[in-house]
Structure 1
Amino acid sequence: MTRFDDDAAQGARDRQAQLTKPPGSLGRLEELAVFMAGWQGTDRPRIDRAQALVFAGNHGITAQGITPFPPAVTAGMVANFRAGGAAINQLCRVAAADLAVVALDLDRPTGDFTQGPAMTPAEVRDAMAKGAGAVDPEAQVLILGEMGIGNSTTSAALAAATFGGRAEDWVGPGTGAHGDMLAAKIRVVTEGLARHAPTGAHATLAAFGGREQAGICGAIGRARDLRIPVILDGFICTAAAGVLTRDDPDALAHCLIGHESAEPGHRRLIAALGMPPVLSLDMRLGEGSGAAVALMVLRAALECHNGMATFAEAGID
């Protein structure tokens, strides 16, 4: 597994110390530049090519009445992504990221995890392989997002299985579940946790996950092999990624959490992973939208890092 390049990171810190500003005055922007240096293996990291991947999948758990929208909306939104009409299209345009949408067997929902496993091991492997295969080896940063009616419920189950706690700790309104519908989400996650006790990442995805969440995991692993830093989106994306830490606590070292979602479980996830988000804007759309906004901040960090003059270059004693 590729590792963070400490020498490149130190070179970036040394450059930061010489730029025409008080030390540390750019705050998190300086940290982001060092992060990128360590993963790109150069003290002058760049983003000439950014890729955004949005994975889509459907979930059998929707039959339990846990969402106000039917599964057909997933395919409708995939068509909207491909037509350029969604929020993520606009954000990727302004952030200069090449967007690709990967729809994973939308006509074949996963199983209802209160009745049995969501996927077979072969289905998990297939979705992860498709996720890995979608990564552009030439990209210098990868942002990840998802679409799937019902996947805030599967994410609550993944998070509880990975980090512990009750269903109530992780379940939130998602796309608008309140009252009896929110109670149904809590009930099905509780039933799923009672039925399944997986011990590793693949088994956890098979028990509770969606194909889009397995695809996200496959993309994260491939990006690590290619030394491509990753920006995760909100609750659903982070819950999927967090499953990988069941096998390797260092699995997400090359990842940033782009934003803190308004979905209540995301703050708990952020704390469990110890990964401070780049932004907190009360967003909860999904699609990779928060990660795309974070990419703009990351670009700003590198523009300052590479473009500012040093004190010597500016002739300042």
Structure 2
Amino acid sequence: MSDAMSSPFDDIRRLITTMPGPDEAAVEAVQARDRQLTKPAGSLGRLERIAEWLAAWQAKPTPTVDRPLVCVFAASHGVTAKGVSAFPSEVNRQMLENFAAGGAAINQICAAYGLGFKVFDLAIDMPTGDITEADAMDEKSCVATMAFGMEAIAGGTDLLAIGEMGIGNTTIAAAIYTALYGGSAEHWVGRGTGVDDEGLKRKVAAVEAAIAHHNASLKDPLEVLRRLGGREIAAMAGAILAARLQRIPVILDGYVATSAAAVLHAIHPSTIDHCIAGHLSAEGAHQDVLTRIGKVPLLVLGMRLGEGSGAALAAGLVKAAAAVHRDMATFGQAGVSERLS
């Protein structure tokens, strides 16, 4: 394809082909040290796998979680006009102010676990198009928002947790999943912020209308993103890609954050190999999505808050896994007898 015929999405596709893979030598180094630590082999279960995952994607034989960062991307959605949320759209701006004042749940979780925290306002006073009757974004603005997400981690981190905030975005995520995986809208739609039965019907109707309106153009995952997605989902997709290029492991939050990963997975499954699922959301068919993208959640707490809360809690576990691997004594250091052969 000539430059005159290329599109902004082509740059994203080319970028994906340049992404580094796991560092197997670093994984082997972690496994070798693990065999010398003062514990029975395999006794720390998934914590041992987490240390290997960190090493693989940081390319470090001794993985670190010294600068963990939670990034929350906030946006607004035109589909809220269809009555798909229990809360009005002005809550978006109010919640941004709450984040800034340190009053949200995510503020407390980050403080408890020593996590950095950044919030990004993605033109929150300008809703994207109502997906039941228009494109959410054009291609240029979608790619620009992905690029913004890529820049969000420019300050440096060794572990990234991504989350979002945006009234109406569980409807957006459900539409993305319906487009990517098929099936009925009812399967993918949940109660979000707590809509009643009539609100749930409106959400289902909105997703059905969106799929019908865009149906002819939903074979390309990036078209799904721009037509049905939101700025926060595009930015999270960009952050995931940038993290891979910079060898930063990523923890996904819940139902909405996973939709950004699902779009990238649909382009090529290996695109999200450096990501783990922080938790299983109580929203919608999140378990179905995680199964499809090959992720087993670290936590199952019945949460559906969003704002990076589940990913931040999981980051505490990841920090613990790195600390245990790094700081446990070996049999030789502790003078503990090794297992008899």
Q: Which residue of 2 aligns with 1:151?
A: 169
Q: More displaced, 192-201 or 216-225?
A: 192-201
State the one-letter code of the partner of 2:160: L
TM-superposed deviation, 1:137 = 5.0
Q: More displaced, 195-204 or 297-306?
A: 195-204
TM-superposed deviation, 1:132 = 0.7
CA distance in 2, matches of 1:149, 1:264: 16
* 2:238 maps to 1:208: no
Conserved in 2, the CA contact under 8 Å of 1:51 and 1:136?
no
Conserved in 2, the CA contact under 8 Å of 1:199 and 1:246?
no
CA distance in 1, matches of 2:127, 2:156: 32
* 2:101 maps to 1:80: no
Q: Which residue of 2 aligns with 1:96?
A: 114
Q: Any idea what SS the aligned residue of 1:9 has?
A: helix
Q: Which residue of 2 aligns with 1:161?
A: 179
Conserved in 2, the CA contact under 8 Å of 1:37 and 1:45?
yes
Q: More displaced, 49-58 or 188-197?
A: 188-197
State the one-letter code of the partner of 2:114: A
Conserved in 1, the CA contact under 8 Å of 2:269 and 2:293?
no
TM-superposed deviation, 1:144 = 0.5
TM-superposed deviation, 1:247 = 1.4
Q: Which has the larger radius of gyration?
A: 2
RMSD: 1.1
* 2:64 maps to 1:46: yes
Q: Which residue of 2 aligns with 1:258?
A: 278
CA distance in 2, matches of 1:227, 1:164: 33
Q: Which residue of 2 aligns with 1:307?
A: 327
Counterparts of 1:103-182 in structure 2, within 5 Å, are: 103-136=121-154, 138-182=156-200
State the one-letter code of the partner of 1:231: I
Question: What do the CA deviations read for 1:26-65 (whole angstroms, capped 9, x no partner)?
Answer: 0110110110011111221011111111000000001111
Counterparts of 1:21-32 in structure 2, within 5 Å, are: 21-32=39-50
Q: Which residue of 2 aligns with 1:193?
A: 211
Q: Which residue of 2 aligns with 1:55?
A: 73
TM-score normalised by structure 2 residue count = 0.91
Percent of aligned pairs sharing the same letter: 45
TM-superposed deviation, 1:164 = 2.2
Q: Any idea what SS the aligned residue of 1:122 has?
A: helix
Q: Any idea what SS the aligned residue of 2:160 has?
A: strand
Q: Any idea what SS the aligned residue of 2:80 has?
A: helix
Conserved in 1, the CA contact under 8 Å of 2:254 and 2:280?
yes
Question: What do the CA deviations read for 1:270-313 (whole angstroms, capped 9, x no partner)?
Answer: 11111001111111110000011001001111111011111122
Give structure 2 stretches of 5+ with no counterpart. 1-18
Give structure 1 stretches of 5+ with no counterpart. none
Q: Which residue of 1 aligns with 2:201?
A: 183
State the one-letter code of the partner of 1:165: G
State the one-letter code of the partner of 1:273: I
Q: Which residue of 2 aligns with 1:295?
A: 315
Q: Which residue of 1 aligns with 2:3?
A: none
Question: What do the CA deviations read for 1:72-118 (whole angstroms, capped 9, x no partner)?
Answer: 10111011111111011111112212111101111210111111211
